[in-house]
Amino acid sequence: NAGVTQTPKFRILKIGQSMTLQCTQDMNHNYMYWYRQDPGMGLKLIYYSVGAGITDKGEVPNGYNVSRSTTEDFPLRLELAAPSQTSVYFCASSSTGVGMNTEAFFGQGTRLTVV
Amino acid sequence: AQSVTQPDIHITVSEGASLELRCNYSYGATPYLFWYVQSPGQGLQLLLKYFSGDTLVQGIKGFEAEFKRSQSSFNLRKPSVHWSDAAEYFCAVGTPPGAGSYQLTFGKGTKLSVIP
């Protein structure tokens, strides 16, 4: 029972480089989310998706892009990495909207450092 | 917009002692409230949630939380803490259907340390 799987677990990027954080879930959830976690700041929503082909911005979307071509996968793309994007990134999924009476399932996170 | 305040950044308790973690929320209607726990190096796991009904909710690992509308609070409690409870705890408020959004707003977290 894999749940939500994120790769890679760690990554160091140079300023200006780009990369894709991968997220896949095997629970057939329609809703998927990307959060970033900075020390002492809690989690902030970057993007979310309510189903394949449908995505929308969260609280902090600048510098990121997403796509949702399948129910299972929800990759997060960083273009032109900046030091401000140094953070821990979490992917999550839920059967219905995460703010409703449901549980969000989180991946183990990707720790990204931009130098 | 909704918001969540966790007044305590770091709490240290002795093993076997009782625990209460505070959470205050700001939301115009009846909120959906959650407590998540994050063990070191791990993702978040749901401890419990409040949707409606009984204001005292039971969760996993022996945790409970009480919703108090008059105080806009949803404090997490455990009668006897175990060393394995050392983690970071996040309170969150959700957006009910029809509000045009599907997201959780998290507090900044409370880190719990347990002294053996």
* CATH class of the domain at A4-114: mainly beta
In this prediction, residue B4 carries a pLDDT of 93
Long-range contacts of A54-58 (CB under 8 A, 24+ apart): A58/A33, A58/A34, A58/B103
User: Alpha-carbon dihedral of residues B35, A86, A22, A81, nearest 10 degrees?
Assistant: 150
In this prediction, residue A1 carries a pLDDT of 66
How do B32-38 and B73-78 pair as beta strands? unpaired
- pLDDT, one tens digit per residue, over A4-43 is 999 999 999 999 999 999 999 999 999 999 999 998 888 9
pLDDT of A95 strictly over 90: no
- pLDDT, one tens digit per residue, over B13-71 is 999 999 999 999 987 777 889 999 999 888 899 999 998 888 899 999 999 999 999 99
pLDDT of A99 strictly over 90: no
- The answer regarding whether domain B3-115 maps to CATH 3.10.20.30 reads no
Chain B residue closest in CA terms to A101: B51
* Residues 41-80, chain A, touching B (beta carbon < 8 A): 41-45, 48, 50, 58-59
The ranges assigned to domains in chain A are 4-114
In this prediction, residue A2 carries a pLDDT of 78
When pLDDT is cut at 50, 70 and 90, the band that residue B97 belongs to is low
Which of chain B's residues have a Cβ under 8 Å away from the Cβ of A101? 32, 49, 51
The ranges assigned to domains in chain B are 3-115
